[in-house]
Amino acid sequence: MKTILLITALIGLMACKGPARPEVPEILEVPGAPEYTLDEAIGQMLLVGFRGTAVDSTDHIYRDLRDYHVGSVILFDYDAPTGTRGRNIRSVGQVKALCAQLRALNPDLLIGIDQEGGYVSRLGTRYGFPKTLTAQRSATLGIDSVRSQARLTAGMLASLGINLNFAPVADVNVNPSCPVIGAIERSFSADTAAVARCCEVWIEEQRAKGVVSCLKHFPGHGSAKGDTHKGLVDVTKTWQRRELAPYRALCSSPETGEVPEGGRGMMVMTAHVINRQLDPAGLPASLSPKITSYLRDTLGFQGVIVTDDLAMGAISGQYSLEQTVRMALEAGADLLCLSNNGGHYDPDLVPKVVKVIKKLVADGTVSEERIRQSALRIRSLKIDISGN
């Protein structure tokens, strides 16, 4: 607990406005935390997808973990570029063995997955995993059902060695016909208080099993009429300010800096939606400094902010890799989601992204301290969830 308080205090100091430091130290020195080099700090900011149901020394993910210090990975059952299943998931035993191999390469690794329940379940019944309910269905049955689903999911993930779940969904069911939220029952409810309570239960149950939760998709995707997997989606005219309520309930207060008990052990994912109510410039939320600042400064969230998948059409169809990485960092994202599961697969994606970030640091576009601050937030979350 002392380590967490020291790290949290340092994050607060770094976030305060003041004169720029003349130099950034070569390594990050925080009691109880590793002393990251710049290369290691950059690696902490990368959440990477890969192909393979096991890890061999010839695989690029082996290289990425060993040489580029990647701090997080994400598992998928479906490989979008080829349209085939079995990308990382084929059976219970196989997933458990894969996680053990990954963690042997990096004991501090976050291994993530989208396991919301119902239609969004990477660990499906076809692979031998138990059937789960959608968020909407479980909420309709009552809070005990929500807790039961959350407990089932948390226990299953922990038993496999997965310690990051991109759930629960905090989107409010404003538009029941939204193709990627309401239509497939990913939202708990149209009632903001019910959404907040259900999310709190999921975070509690997952934290109890050492699994990081991720609220998504900030600042709200529930009113959308389009699909950000395919292209840009503008929610300016449909978004309602009440969609912020679940985040307001679970994020720390800007006045006190205290995180509600239900909000510990979580990160927040920014969406690829355009919302000119919050950012008149019309940047996707995941690349918007204004929207990230709203989450940090107005809602008081000082934890890890992760982008939605940067391979989705809303981003990859509009920006180059260099532009995307620069804009995500300038927006204030801590963790860049690089699924490598969009239109094409690139085994050299990590070296390319690392090269871009190092160039941004070298030319002064992004400061070293900015990189280290994100690495520190990520490390703080890892300490919080593991208890170490």
Transcribe 268-311 into DSSP letters: EEEPSEE-TTT-TT--BGGG-HHHHHIIIIIS---S-EEESPTT
Angle ∠(27,104,334) on CA atoms, nearest 5: 45
Could you tell me which residues are beta bridge partners of residue 387?
none
5 CB-contact burial (10 Å; exposed 0-12 / middle 13-18 / buried 19+)? exposed
Could you tell me which residues are beta bridge partners of residue 117?
120
The reply to whether 272 belongs to the active site is no
Q: Answer for the pair 59, 95: CB distance below 8 angstroms, yes or no.
A: no
Distant-in-sequence, close-in-space partners of 18: CB < 8 Å, separation ≥ 6: none
CA distances from 127 to 54, 66, 74, 93, 131 (A): 16, 29, 18, 10, 11
SS3 136: helix
| Calpha distance 366→92 (Å, rounded) | 42
Buried b (16+ CB within 10 A) or exposed e, 273-305: bbbeebbeeebbbbbbeebbebbbeebbbbbbb
From the candidates 39, 59, 79, 229, give the one annotated as an active-site residue. 229
Give the residue among 158, 187, 165, 162 at the shortest CA–CA distance from 175. 187
Compute the half-sphere exposure of residue 61: CA atoms within 13 Å on the CB side of its CA. Answer: 30
Could you tell me which residues are beta bridge partners of residue 357?
none
From the candidates 308, 309, 334, 384, give the one annotated as an active-site residue. 308
* Residue 217 φ/ψ, nearest 5 degrees: -125, 105
Q: Answer for the pair 61, 52: CB distance below 8 angstroms, yes or no.
A: yes
The reply to whether 229 belongs to the active site is yes
| Calpha distance 326→346 (Å, rounded) | 19
* Residue 381 φ/ψ, nearest 5 degrees: -65, -40
Helices (H) and strands (E) in the chain, counts: 13, 14
SS3 190: coil
Residues with active-site annotation: 229, 308
